[in-house]
């Protein structure tokens, strides 16, 4: 029997779920390996009571999300998070840096029940154990297919730990820091193939902070290049307001 899969969205723009539809060449092959019982973006039905693999997009921002994740973890044999919001808190976690009530009021007004049970944004693994991770904003579909295949086979997770610079140099890209531009490649988790930097866009850290990164040395490099190290730390927050490592 094919593994039963559900795809669930929490607080996000659903961009990673949209990205899942952009693998025309292999989408049918992937779906042919699973019994896709629920996909929040593509179906109007309800989640089934039993399934084998849960794919989760989005940050945790409400008590309802916490309750849902508890049910998912008790049910699924494997839990897989996709995208920055689910893995590091992503963009939703930017609201954590200020008065949360004031931020909600600026958008929704003071009407009751608009955001009942709201809480500071957190990655999924702050609430439940996660077995497989696909970082990025949006996710890379080649990586998604690879990680999903590992989940279906019961193989271990393999999230890259090295900083992006290790790969960027093999692409022979001119360093943005040498141009006087802020780039987070020194401290960002690799695994993306350095796509942005190869396309002449500085790294913004969407894959999360690399646990093997030397943050003190990164500040020293910024100073040596004539850049403000405070700007490096400020830009961490774009995708990493909820820190997964100490900086």
Any domain includes 160 = no
Q: Which domain holds residue 183?
A: 165-240
Contacts of 90 (CB under 8 A, 6+ apart): 12, 59, 83, 84, 121, 137, 206, 239
Boundary (domain end) residue, out of 118, 133, 153: 153
Boundary (domain end) residue, out of 97, 127, 153: 153
Any domain includes 245 = no
Same domain, 111 and 21: yes
Same domain, 39 and 78: yes
pLDDT confidence of residue 28: 58
Same domain, 104 and 185: no
Boundary (domain end) residue, out of 133, 153, 173: 153
Same domain, 83 and 112: yes
pLDDT confidence of residue 64: 93
pLDDT confidence of residue 119: 87
Same domain, 148 and 193: no
Same domain, 187 and 208: yes
Same domain, 12 and 92: yes
Inter-residue contact 36 to 93 (CB < 8 Å): no
Same domain, 173 and 144: no
Same domain, 29 and 131: yes
| Token pair belonging to 100 | 């949360």
Per-residue CA distances from 209 to 131, 235, 239 (Å): 19, 11, 9
Any domain includes 117 = yes
Tens-digit pLDDT string for the chain (247 aa): 789 999 999 999 889 998 888 766 666 566 677 888 998 887 778 899 999 999 999 999 999 999 999 999 999 999 999 999 999 999 999 888 667 777 777 777 765 556 678 888 999 999 999 999 999 999 998 899 889 989 998 999 988 888 999 899 899 999 999 999 999 999 999 999 999 999 999 999 999 999 888 889 999 999 999 999 888 888 888 898 886 544 4
| Domain CATH code at residue 121 | 3.40.50.700
Any domain includes 247 = no
Helical axes 141-153 vs 24-31, angle rounded to 10°: 10
Residues β-bridged to residue 164: none
Same domain, 148 and 232: no
Q: How many domains does the chain have?
A: 2
Any domain includes 21 = yes
């Amino acid at each position: 029997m094919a593994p039963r899969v559900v795809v669930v969205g929490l607080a996000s723009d659903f961009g990673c779920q949209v990205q899942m539809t952009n693998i025309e060449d292999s989408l049918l092959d992937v779906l042919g390996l699973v019994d896709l019982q629920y996909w929040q973006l593509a179906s109007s039905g309800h989640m089934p009571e039993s399934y084998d693999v849960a794919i989760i997009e989005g940050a945790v921002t409400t008590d309802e999300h916490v309750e849902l994740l508890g049910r998912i973890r008790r049910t699924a044999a494997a839990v897989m998070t996709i995208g920055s919001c689910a893995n590091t808190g992503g963009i939703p976690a930017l609201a954590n840096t200020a008065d949360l009530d004031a931020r909600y009021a600026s958008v929704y007004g003071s009407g009751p029940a608009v955001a009942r049970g709201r809480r500071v944004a957190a990655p999924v693994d702050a609430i439940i154990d996660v077995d497989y991770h696909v970082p990025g904003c949006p996710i890379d579909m080649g990586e998604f297919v690879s990680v999903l295949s590992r989940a279906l086979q019961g193989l271990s997770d393999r999230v890259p730990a090295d900083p992006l610079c290790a790969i960027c140099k093999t692409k022979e890209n001119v360093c943005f820091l040498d141009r006087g531009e802020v780039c987070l490649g020194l401290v960002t988790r690799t695994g993306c193939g350095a796509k942005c930097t190869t396309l002449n866009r500085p790294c913004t850290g969407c894959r999360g902070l690399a646990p093997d990164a030397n943050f003190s040395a990164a500040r020293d490099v910024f100073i040596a290049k004539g850049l403000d190290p405070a700007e490096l730390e400020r830009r961490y927050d774009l995708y990493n307001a909820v820190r997964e490592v100490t900086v």
